Amino acid sequence: MCFRISERIRIIGCLVVISLLLGLVTVLIFIPALDKMPHIFFGITLVTNFQLAVQEKCETVFEDIPMDGKMEQKDDEQPDMILVVLKQIWPMALNICCIDVVKVSLFPAICADVRTSLAPANSLWDKLFGPVGCFLMNRCGNFVGRMLTAFILFPRKNSSFLPLLVAAQTLFIPLIIFCNVSHRSHTSPFFQHDAWFIFFNTLLGFCNGYFTTLLTSYGPKMVPLKNAKTAGSLMVFSLSIGCIFGAALSFLIRWII
């Protein structure tokens, strides 16, 4: 006997679980006892991220299982087929890699070091500025950007305007650098008001969420249906490469500041 859960319920359920887990991590920030036990907080965060990854993988696996529960035998994927698919989707893969390079180079490595200029040290806003102004606003912008792709797909996958919008996101690097980042050695802040950083940070999250989801959906559409799964895997691999280069770039940005 098979029970089929509607797509709407699955989406709402995933959003509720993810929101609860992110809320749990945010609440743990305010527990003073965890300051002396960082390994506990790290462990809880690691378990949370692992759960999100497993949830995504399980959803993909269940989609591949037919209703009768029988899996078809498939031939091993040829390495040359991966190269053929990569030649077809490399513009999208490069764009999504650049998107993640910009995002990871700034958030959270640099954004977490931005301090409020409107409240004294140890005040309530000073304590809330990091969790709210940095992490919460960035994630909210990211969430809105991802949800927006369900209604708007702009620009189209063959548009020459798309690489320009991706390249324009490198402007976030100087904008965040000249916010009120602490521990400066070579530069001075220009956008000192808290509102500037919150605006730039939220917009960074929004652009990252929107274009990551947009490009991820465009990649598999550029190849035949039988190669769509390979294209999707290559797009995810490009995201991982972007994370690596973004993390390395964050050290250079920190030195420039």
For all residues of the chain together, what is the average pLDDT?
A: 82
Q: CA 192 to CA 116: how far, in whole Å?
A: 8
For the stretch 131-188, pLDDT in tens is: 899 999 999 999 999 999 989 999 998 898 999 999 999 999 999 999 999 988 899 9
Counted domains in the chain? 2
Would you state the structure tokens that stand for residue 77, as one six-digit string? 């994927």
Q: Which of 70, 98, 128 is the last residue of a domain?
A: 70
Do residues 96 and 233 lie in contact, with contact meaning Cβ atoms separated by under 8 Å? no
- Enclosing domain of residue 156: 78-256
Q: What pTM, to 2 d.p., does this model score?
A: 0.74
Residue 97 pLDDT > 90, yes or no? yes
Return left, alpha or beta for 182; rule: phi > 0 is left, psi -120 to 50 is alpha, else beta: beta
For the stretch 109-121, pLDDT in tens is: 899 999 999 988 8
* CATH, residue 152: 1.20.1250
Q: Please tell me whether the peptide bond between 220 and the residue prior to it is cis, using omega within 30 degrees of 0.
A: no
Same-domain pairing of 90 and 152: yes
Q: Which of 47, 70, 93 is the last residue of a domain?
A: 70
| Residue 98 pLDDT grade (very low, low, confident, very high; cuts 50, 70, 90) | very high
Q: Which amino acid is at 232?
A: G
Same-domain pairing of 20 and 108: no
